[in-house]
Amino acid sequence: MTILALDSSSRTASVCVWRDGKILSLAYADSGYTHSRTLMPTVDFALNTAGVALADADLLAAAAGPGSFTGLRIGVATVKGLAFAADKPCAAVSTLEALACSHRGWDGVICAALDARRGQVYAALFTCENGKVMRLTEDGALSAEDVTEQIRKITGRVLLVGDGAELIRGADNAVPAPLENRFIAAPGVALAASSMTPVSAGELLPVYHRKPQAEREREDKTRG
């Protein structure tokens, strides 16, 4: 199976072409420009480097959330547009599951956490055994303290991945992943997508797990 996988859920963007467990190409952008400017050129570069045409892809996958609302919309819209044009099936991958899948070499529990601002993290727990990642909890927006307490109750070491790892403090059994591979990247999206049931381009949607900031601020003013 050949998968074109995209991630634009955070300040960086990455695209990979993945075939039967092998990364044919990986392109990464952290130029300071918006994803709306950099994502499509990054897709073109990844496809050209792999020597793969869009028509050759069996599945198009996007990190669909949680993450930056704007980044998620851009990534999902890009995959939807490509899928409609090429008549390809899609996969909406949990950003947290993609993070966990990038650390299949860990034996034990993985906590994937993204900074959700306002003292919260988007987080989920997974377990990994013999290279197979299995979900323990659903994705959700939680306080860093609540996630820390969950980790304290786990027997054994827990690997922390994602940019929210720095917010989880006070659990002696928590082990932050090395900085150079702590963050989300497209190969994890491809790996998670490889075992998912595809959806149509029309069914592909971002998953925010929290109301947009503007809506939350409006509700705060209304309550005030």
Domain match, 80 and 147 both? no
- Residue 188 belongs to a domain: yes
- Model-level pTM greater than 0.85? yes
Per-residue model confidence (pLDDT) at position 220: 47
- Residue 189 belongs to a domain: yes
Give residues with Cβ within 8 angstroms of 99, minimum separation 6: 110, 112, 114, 161, 162, 183, 184, 188
Domain match, 193 and 110 both? no
Domain match, 190 and 92 both? yes
Per-residue model confidence (pLDDT) at position 216: 40
- Residue 51 belongs to a domain: yes
Domain match, 72 and 108 both? no
Per-residue model confidence (pLDDT) at position 224: 56
CA 169/CA 144 separation, integer angstroms: 8
Domain match, 191 and 91 both? yes
Domain match, 174 and 194 both? no
Per-residue model confidence (pLDDT) at position 219: 43
Per-residue model confidence (pLDDT) at position 218: 47
Domain match, 50 and 79 both? yes
Domain of residue 166 covers 104-181
- Residue 69 belongs to a domain: yes
Q: How far is C-alpha 113 from the geometric centre of its chain's CA atoms? A: 10
- Residue 223 belongs to a domain: no
Tally of CB atoms within 10 A around 52: 17
Indicate left, alpha or beta for 38 from its phi (over 0: left) and psi (-120 to 50: alpha).
Answer: alpha
Domain match, 175 and 188 both? no
Domain count, the chain: 2
Domain match, 68 and 132 both? no
Per-residue model confidence (pLDDT) at position 42: 96
Domain match, 108 and 155 both? yes
Domain match, 88 and 141 both? no
What is the CATH number for 152?
A: 3.30.420.40
Domain match, 84 and 190 both? yes
- Residue 109 belongs to a domain: yes
* Cβ contact 13:45 at 8 Å: no
Q: Is the dihedral of CA 185, 191, 195, 197 positive or negative?
A: positive
- Residue 224 belongs to a domain: no
For the chain, list residues with pLDDT below 50.
214-221
